């Protein structure tokens, strides 16, 4: 899997930004200054949603990095439904003002991937992990630790994009997917992992450490 450069604006957003600019022009032509203002606000929202800034990667070798920007909504023991094991689960909720580019939490090989269609309930709710549309990656680190990273669609999210497939090797902080318009990412870790994040914390993809592997 090739690394994706950081052009500031995510490639997934280019068609939407083009559409927003077309709407801006149409509104300005039809409604003058008032239409231009409304169109400019819409275009600014679309541009900020699809921003994709570069991030610094922490060098701590056993660190599990946040795969997404957002707020921690869950930290605690849980059952990993993908690997059928007990695990430490950490969930990050993304609102429409967060960066929605998803990045690998660890260095590792993609051992498996699963996609499940589902509902679109509020991604801040814990039941979203099992009810909503979701895409999961099983990553195995170089030290043999298993990490499951799950993209979960939200209330208005309607498209999960994942570019990683079994056999790919991901580096910590490497961009591997995107979720459009509000969502969450669940990370399932070995039960002996030590959490570094707490419920309510605001985290940033790649730069924030969620946990340390034992």
Q: Which residue has the tokens 């309510």?
A: 200
How far apart CA 15 and CA 8 sit, in angstroms, is: 15
Q: Tell me which of 66, 91, 183, 208 is the catalytic residue.
A: 183
| Residue 209 near residue 64 (C-beta atoms within 8 A) | yes
3-state SS of 53-110 is CCCCCCCCCCEEECCCCEEEEEEEEEEECCCCEEEEEEEEEECCCCCCEEECCCCEEE
| Residue 42 near residue 21 (C-beta atoms within 8 A) | no
- Catalytic status, residue 183: yes
Q: Find, among 214, 155, 208, the residue nearest to 181 by Cα.
A: 155
| Residue 130 near residue 81 (C-beta atoms within 8 A) | yes
How far apart CA 17 and CA 41 sit, in angstroms, is: 12
Kindly report the backbone phi and psi dihedral angles of residue 147, in degrees, each rounded to the nearest multiple of 5, phi listed first. -130, 130
Could you list the active site residues? 183
């Amino acid at each position: 899997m090739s690394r994706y450069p950081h052009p500031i604006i995510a490639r997934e957003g280019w068609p939407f930004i083009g559409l927003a600019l077309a709407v801006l022009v149409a509104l300005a032509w039809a409604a003058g200054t008032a239409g231009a203002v409304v169109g400019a606000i819409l275009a600014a929202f679309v541009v900020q949603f699809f921003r994709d800034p570069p991030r610094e990667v922490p060098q701590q070798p056993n660190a599990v990095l946040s795969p997404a920007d957002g707020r921690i909504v869950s930290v605690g023991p849980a059952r990993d439904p993908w690997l059928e094991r007990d695990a430490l689960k950490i969930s990050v909720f993304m609102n429409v003002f967060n960066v929605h580019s998803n990045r690998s939490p660890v260095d590792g090989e993609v051992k498996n991937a699963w996609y499940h269609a589902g509902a679109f309930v509020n991604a801040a709710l814990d039941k979203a992990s099992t009810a909503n549309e979701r895409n999961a990656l099983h990553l195995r680190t170089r030290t043999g630790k298993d990490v499951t990273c799950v993209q979960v669609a939200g209330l208005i999210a309607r498209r999960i994009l994942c570019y990683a497939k079994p056999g790919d090797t991901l580096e910590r902080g490497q961009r591997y997917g995107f979720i459009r318009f509000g969502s969450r990412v669940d990370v399932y870790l070995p039960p002996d992992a030590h959490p570094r994040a707490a419920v309510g914390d605001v985290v940033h993809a790649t730069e924030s450490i969620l946990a340390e592997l034992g």
